[in-house]
């Protein structure tokens, strides 16, 4: 999962990878439920017995996902390596599906959140739960709560920053119209110069080139960016939360009869410690402190 050197072409690929991440994760797992998940579970409860689930194909759980990238997918989507790949197989097991009964399909983010019939039973694409999206699709119980991380260059002037005040006067990159912008403005106000980018990968390239002093993005993706794609950078901390926490959930067709069963599976994985183990193993952001 780690890379000791930056291959030039990798930076270009990373920009595309992080562009996708910026689209999906910043619109909202605590390790608890949401109103949407609760209402779904309270709706008509189909049998969640293995073999009785109304999947698109009998005996098969069809999973939608985009291009694989770390830390969510390591290698191919079906590798079982990476947080979401491992999560999918854990959910499938809870639902009674063996590994070879999980079928993966390529989908775009727009396909996932659009109010149209889905070519999948569930989708795992770092999709933030928001009220707007809840009007078009169903979400499972959340499986992750995200935070906004601050990334700086290893040899930059802010490599030793440990507080928000230490970064005052810096040029701070954010992804335009995403949560990172709101979080940065709430943390620093006018004490930093906020520089918006169309995608997180563009900002990371600018950081490596010395065009900005820091980059704010989802901390879990930031850890992967700093260890895999841009190893000349480091995550120094997270920003204080702004508003409701950002929670990621599995996506299902609106009104899907599977939603209560998938939420029950996610809840069971939270209760037995599986989600915590997966977060520690693949995301590696547990010990990153909040900047005071």
Whether 134 and 279 share a structural domain: yes
Q: What is the C-alpha to C-alpha distance for residues 11 and 6, in angstroms, rounded to an integer?
A: 7
Confidence of residue 46 (pLDDT cuts 50, 70, 90): low
Whether 124 and 254 share a structural domain: yes
Handedness of CA 184, 186, 191, 194 (dihedral sign): positive
Q: Which residue has the higher pLDDT, 139 or 52?
A: 139
CATH number, domain containing residue 230:
3.40.190.10
Here the tokens at position 16 are 């595309």
Whether 135 and 272 share a structural domain: yes
What domain range is 260 assigned to? 31-145+245-283
Whether 50 and 92 share a structural domain: yes
Whether 96 and 190 share a structural domain: no
pTM score, whole prediction: 0.76
Whose structure tokens read 């309270």? Answer: 42
Residue 262 lies in a domain: yes
pLDDT tens profile 160-169: 999 999 999 9
pLDDT tens profile 116-171: 999 999 999 988 898 999 999 999 999 999 899 999 999 999 999 999 999 999 99
């Amino acid at each position: 999962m780690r890379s000791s050197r930056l291959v030039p072409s990798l930076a270009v690929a990373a920009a595309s990878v992080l562009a996708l991440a910026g689209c999906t994760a910043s619109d909202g797992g605590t390790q608890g439920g949401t109103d949407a998940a609760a209402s779904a579970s309270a709706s008509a409860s189909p049998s969640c017995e293995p073999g009785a689930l109304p999947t698109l194909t009998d005996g098969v759980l069809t999973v939608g996902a985009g291009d694989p990238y770390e830390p969510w997918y390591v290698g191919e989507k079906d590798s079982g390596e990476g947080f979401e790949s491992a999560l999918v197989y854990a959910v499938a097991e809870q639902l009674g599906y063996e590994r070879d009964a999980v079928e993966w399909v390529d989908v775009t983010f727009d396909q996932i959140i659009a109010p149209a019939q889905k070519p999948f039973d569930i989708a795992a694409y770092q999709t933030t739960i928001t009220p707007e999206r809840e009007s078009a699709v169903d979400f499972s119980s959340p499986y992750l709560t995200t935070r906004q991380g601050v990334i700086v260059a290893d040899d930059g002037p802010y490599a030793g920053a440990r507080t928000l005040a230490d970064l005052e006067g810096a040029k701070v990159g954010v992804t335009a119209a995403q949560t990172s912008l709101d979080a940065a403005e709430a943390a620093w106000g006018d004490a930093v110069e906020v520089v918006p980018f169309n995608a997180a990968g563009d900002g990371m390239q600018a950081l490596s080139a010395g065009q900005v002093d820091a980059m704010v993005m989802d901390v879990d993706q930031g850890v992967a960016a700093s260890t895999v794609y841009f190893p000349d950078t480091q995550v120094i901390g997270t920003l204080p939360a702004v508003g409701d926490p950002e929670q990621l959930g599995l996506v299902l067709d609106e009104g899907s009869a599977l939603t209560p069963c998938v939420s029950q599976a996610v809840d069971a994985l939270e209760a037995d410690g599986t989600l915590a183990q997966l977060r520690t193993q693949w995301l590696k952001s547990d010990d990153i402190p909040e900047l005071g």
